[in-house]
């Protein structure tokens, strides 16, 4: 597994790093990466920055990768008018809205 960090969910930086990574073989196997997971937060709660979800969905589709969205502080899918099916894995918390312990992870399978 290889990890790259992108500052404040910068979609352009994400695409650049993803493109570079796909051109390089995995140091472990020597083969190209075939499964890429993009992990982003909907809203950065300390700054209030909202992720540009349509840009990340476009990148996900272009590079046939998976998109994991942390929706703990937000509702960015609805905010941007995106289709929830374009997000492969969505997670959130129940502690804020339901005053309960736990959370959820949702996906298509």
pLDDT for the residue 91: 94
pLDDT for the residue 1: 67
Tell me the per-residue pLDDT of 9-27, one tens digit each, with 9 for 90 and over: 799 999 999 998 888 888 8
Using CA atoms, how far apart are residues 106 and 68, in angstroms rounded to an integer? 10
Residues of the chain with pLDDT > 90, as a percent, come to 47
- Write out the H or E segment, with its range, that includes residue 61: helix 53-62
Dig out the tokens for 76 from the structure.
Answer: 């960015």
If pLDDT is split at 50, 70 and 90, which confidence band does 83 have?
Answer: very high
Using CA atoms, how far apart are residues 95 and 30, in angstroms rounded to an integer? 43
* Domains of the chain, each with CATH number or no CATH: 7-107 (3.40.640.10)
Residue 77 has pLDDT above 90, yes or no: yes
If pLDDT is split at 50, 70 and 90, which confidence band does 59 have?
Answer: very high
Using CA atoms, how far apart are residues 33 and 23, in angstroms rounded to an integer? 9
Largest CA-CA distance found in the chain, in angstroms, rounded: 48
> What does pTM read for this prediction?
0.87
Answer whether 51's CB lies under 8 Å from 40's CB: yes
**27 — phi, psi (to 5°)?**
-65, -25
Residue 71 has pLDDT above 80, yes or no: yes
Tell me which of 63 and 21 has the higher pLDDT: 63
């Amino acid at each position: 597994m290889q990890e790259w960090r992108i500052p404040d969910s910068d979609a352009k930086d994400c695409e650049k790093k993803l493109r570079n990574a796909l051109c390089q073989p995995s140091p472990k196997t020597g083969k190209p990466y075939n499964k890429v997971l993009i992990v982003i937060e909907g809203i950065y709660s300390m700054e209030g920055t909202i992720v540009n979800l349509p840009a990340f969905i476009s990148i996900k589709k272009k590079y046939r990768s998976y998109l994991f969205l942390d929706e703990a502080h937000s509702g960015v899918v609805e905010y941007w008018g995106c289709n929830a099916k374009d997000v492969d894995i969505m997670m959130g918390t129940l502690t804020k809205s339901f005053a309960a312990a736990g959370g959820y992870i949702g996906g298509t399978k």
